[in-house]
Amino acid sequence: MNRRCHRALSRGDPHVDTDVMRPDGGQGTGAETPTIRIGTAGWSIPADHARRFPPEGSHLARYSQRLPAVEINSSFYRPHRPATYARWAATVPPDFRFAVKLPKLITHTNRLALSTDPLDRFLDETAALGCKRGPLLVQLPPSLGFDEGVCGGFLRDLRNRFDGLVACEPRHASWFTDPVDGLLAELRIARVAADPAVVPRSTEPGGWREFHYYRLHGSPQMYYSAYEPDYLERLRERLRTEQAEIWCIFDNTAEGAATHDALAVLGD
């Protein structure tokens, strides 16, 4: 990723709460003021929250005026043409960023094996986001245990092909060990901090410590439950104190809770 694409955020930017969204410190290099990006999985705007967004424009255009980042999940289910990614990039402000989820073909069907060609296609397609392409998200099936040859080989191959931020969300207990964390750190890959936890260690960031990626799926009912105000306040304070580049994505989108929770963490 071209570092020239990362310009400092203006403290006068109307769509940024600078108490949380601090000036960009590059690709998680441990700068004194690392970026914190808050967003949701997808950019739908629930009717109950529509008044909190500008009234004009597409959903993405309106969303991007209030939240500084989004996670593209549709790329998991189907490919998008480069022209689609380019159109999305042209819709949002200069400092907006997209996380993009790797295709199901790579992570669930192929289970990381024999994935060179589909990975190259995915990287070529998403390159059309230009400077607005943020982290790649590698979410793995719960049944996929860590295998040094297959999983380690894929992650090394991914790192050789892509120099930007990468977050890996494993869901099998074999990934939550010191040796695997060491490999992820060596490859500059963050292990996602997820809620609800699949194992106790999964709630904390792991792997490369200069980049933290939180995925909050809703609790107690995944994808549906809103988080309690006390939880969101504690989360807000925690994010402000961590010395890492941070993404925090709310995935409790089924009934619109993600939008409320993301705006709450931003201080709205």
Q: Which pLDDT tens digits describe the chain residue by residue (268 residues)? A: 333 353 322 223 333 333 334 323 333 333 345 799 999 999 999 999 999 999 999 999 999 999 999 999 999 999 999 999 999 999 999 999 999 999 999 999 999 999 999 999 999 999 999 999 999 999 999 999 999 999 999 999 999 999 999 999 999 999 999 999 999 999 999 999 999 999 999 999 999 999 999 999 999 999 999 999 999 999 999 999 999 999 999 999 999 999 999 999 998 7
What ranges make up the beta strands (E) of 125-223? 133-139, 166-169, 190-191, 193-195, 206-207, 211-216
How many domains is the chain partitioned into structurally? 1
Angle at 167 between CA 25 and CA 160, to 5 degrees: 90
Q: Are strands 133-139 and 166-169 parallel, antiparallel or unpaired?
A: parallel
Question: Is the distance from CB of 249 to CB of 42 less than 8 angstroms?
Answer: no
Distance of CA 226 to the CA centre of its chain: 19
- Helices then strands (H, E): number in the chain? 9, 10
Q: What is the CATH number of the domain that holds 179?
A: 3.20.20.410
Residue 185 within a domain: yes
Burial class (CB in 10 A: 0-12, 13-18, 19+), 40: buried
Residue listed under structure tokens 């998991």: 76
> For the stretch 107-117, what's the b/e string if a residue is b when 16 or more beta carbons lie within 10 angstroms of its beta carbon?
bbebbbeebee
What pLDDT score does 118 carry?
98
What are the two backbone dihedrals, phi and then psi, of residue 82, each rounded to the nearest 5 degrees? -55, -35
Residue 9 within a domain: no
Residue 139 within a domain: yes
| Domain of residue 85, residue span | 22-265
> For the stretch 205-235, what's the b/e string if a residue is b when 16 or more beta carbons lie within 10 angstroms of its beta carbon?
bbbbbbbbbbbbbbbeeeeebbbeeebbeeb
Residue 15 within a domain: no
Residue 3 within a domain: no
What pLDDT score does 1 carry?
37
Residue 50 within a domain: yes
Alpha carbon distance 145, 175 (integer Å): 7
Residue 29 within a domain: yes
